[in-house]
Amino acid sequence: MIINRKPTKTIHIGHVKVGGDNPIVVQSMTNTKTQNIAETVSQIQRLESAGCEIIRVAVPHMEAAIAIPKIKEQIHIPLIADIHFDYKLAIAAAEHGADAIRINPGNIGDMASIQKVVQVASQNKMAIRIGVNSGSVESDLLKKYGGPTSQAMVESALRHIQLMHSLDFDNFKISIKASDVQRTLDAYRLISEQTNAPLHIGVTEAGTLISGTVKSALGIGMLLAEGIGDTLRVSLTRDPEDEIRVAYEILRALNIKRRGPEIISCPTCGRTAIPLFEIVESVEKRLQHITKDIKVAIMGCVVNGPGEAREADIGIAGGDGTGILFKKGKVVKKIPEEHLIDILIEAIESDT
Ligand code: SF4
One digit per residue, the tens of pLDDT, for the chain of length 352 reads 678 899 999 999 999 999 999 999 999 999 999 999 999 999 999 999 999 999 999 999 999 999 999 999 999 999 999 998 899 999 999 999 999 999 987 777 788 888 899 999 999 999 999 999 888 888 899 999 999 999 999 999 999 999 999 999 999 999 998 889 999 999 999 999 999 999 999 998 878 999 999 999 999 999 999 999 999 999 999 999 999 999 999 999 999 999 999 999 999 999 898 899 999 999 999 998 899 999 999 999 888 888 888 889 999 998 878 899 999 888 899 999 899 999 999 999 887 6
Residue 58, phi then psi, degrees to nearest 5: -75, 135
Cβ atoms of 312 and 297 within 8 Å: the answer is yes
Comma-separated ranges of CATH 3.30.413.10 domains in the chain: 262-351
Q: Is the CB of 270 under 6 A from ligand 1?
A: no
Comma-separated ranges of CATH 3.20.20.20 domains in the chain: 10-253
The helix (H) or strand (E) run that includes residue 244 is helix 240-253
Question: How many H-runs (helices) and E-runs (strands) does the chain carry?
Answer: 13, 15
Q: Which atom of ligand 1 is nearest to the CA of 303?
A: 2
3.30.413.10, 3.40.640.10, 3.40.630.30, 3.30.43.10: which CATH number matches 262-351?
3.30.413.10
Pocket test for ligand 1, best of 269, 303, 311 (most atoms within 8 A of CB): 269
Q: Which atom of ligand 1 is nearest to the CA of 317?
A: 5
Residue 44, phi then psi, degrees to nearest 5: -65, -40
pLDDT of residue 244: 97
Cβ atoms of 46 and 288 within 8 Å: the answer is no
Residue nearest to atom 1 of ligand 1 (CA): 269
Q: Is the CB of 304 under 6 A from ligand 1?
A: yes
pLDDT of residue 226: 97
Q: Is the CB of 305 under 6 A from ligand 1?
A: yes
- What is the CATH code for 10-253? 3.20.20.20
Gyration radius (Cα) of the chain, Å? 23
Nearest to 89 by CA among 67, 70, 62: 62
Cβ atoms of 302 and 317 within 8 Å: the answer is yes
Q: Which atom of ligand 1 is nearest to the CA of 308?
A: 5
Q: Is the CB of 264 under 6 A from ligand 1?
A: no
Q: Which atom of ligand 1 is nearest to the CA of 301?
A: 2
* 3 state SS of 346: helix
